[in-house]
Structures are given as structure tokens and as C-alpha cells.
Amino acid sequence: MYRLIRNVHLILGLVFALVLGVYLLSSVRLAHRSWFTATPTVTEESLPVDPSQAGTPRALALHLIEEYGLRGEIVRIRPSDEGNFVTVIRRLGTGYQVRYQAGAEQANVKTTRQAFIGMMLSMHFSHGFWHEVGLINVWGAVLLATSIALLLIGASGIYLWFKTFDERIVGSVLLAGGLLFALGLMVLVRIQG
């Protein structure tokens, strides 16, 4: 049993190390923005639109996705007075901000493409299975599997540590210290936030 749990512990750690690396790098980017100078590439263009295709913000966004190959999901719609609106189409690392005035024959599209670290940052915040873009749903499944794997790695690590009789006292001190440190950080983050 010990050997099986040890192998599961090691294999899960190796398999999910890449996903954890994405979170590690994007967390460092979040905590230390000044260390990274990668600026996004921003372009703007006007795309011809038939006003009948732009009856609603969602209809216009779907038209632009189909006709002009904008890829992503419609994540935000901000209507304004007189039928004008701004909508955002986004995928990992790229966002399209669409501005449209009611009755106009063109839509203004501002495209923002993030550098590699920016794409990893958007991966950090993407989760769930309700997205219109299939790859984001796949990423959500990978995150779910990683979360389950982390729980199994922790449980199997505690089991393996408990079976090593010589290190129980040191392990107990390290486990208690790690838990206190993590809980203390969570409290500090809540107090600040």
C-alpha cells in the first residue's frame, strides 16, 4: 500500500506540475507588476456592418464573430443612450472591444493582444464550464483535475509522512507551522481587502 500511494503521489505531482507552473508565474505577475514590462499590442479598425445585423449588441457580436473571424466569447455588454453600446469579445490573451452607434454602417473594433505573460494572467482568472469557447471549458476541466490532484497529493503526502516514524515530530511541527502561516495570510488578505 505504501508503494502504491507513493507512486500516486509522485505521478500526480509530475503530471500537474505544468499547470501549477502557470499559476506560479501568473501569481508572481500579479504580485509584482513592475517586474514585467510586456505591453499589449493594441490595434483599432472599423469594420463594415449592415445595420440590420446590429439590432442587438449580441447580434452584432455574433455577426462580427461569423463574418470577420473574431474569436472568443461575448463577456460584457454596456448599453448607452439612443441605442449605442460597447461590447467585449474575449478569449485567452486577446480581447476585442466593439463600439457601435445605432444605425451606423460600421463598428469600431479595438483589439488588445497580450504578451505571453498576459495570456497566462488571463488563464489565471479563467474557470468554470459555462464558456462559449470550448478551449476555455477544457482549461476549466484541467483546473478541476488539478484541484482534485492537489487534494490527493496532500492526503497522500500526510499518509506517507505518517508512515515514516523517524520524522513524525519534525513533520508535525512543519505541518502545524504551514497551516498557521497559510491561515494567517488568508486573514491578512481579508483584512486588507
Q: For residues 29 and 24, give the distance between their C-alpha atoms in angstroms, rounded to a whole number.
A: 9
pLDDT given for residue 151 in this prediction:
92
Beta bridge partners of 110: 44, 97
* pLDDT number for residue 105: 87
Give the dihedral sign, CA 140/144/147/152. negative
Cell of 82: 439612443
Closest CA relative to residue 67, chosen from 29, 100, 106: 106
Per-residue pLDDT in tens (0 to 9) along the chain, 193 residues: 888 888 888 999 899 888 888 878 888 887 787 787 778 889 999 989 888 888 788 888 888 888 888 888 888 888 776 778 888 888 888 889 999 888 888 889 999 988 877 777 777 777 777 877 778 888 888 889 999 999 999 899 888 887 877 777 887 888 889 889 999 998 998 887 6
The predicted structure's pLDDT at residue 44? 93
Q: Which of 148, 126, 149 shows the shortest CA–CA distance to 138?
A: 126
**Edge-first strand listing for the sheet containing 73-79:** 41-48, 106-113, 94-100, 85-91, 73-79
Q: How far apart are CA 76 and CA 118, in angstroms?
A: 20
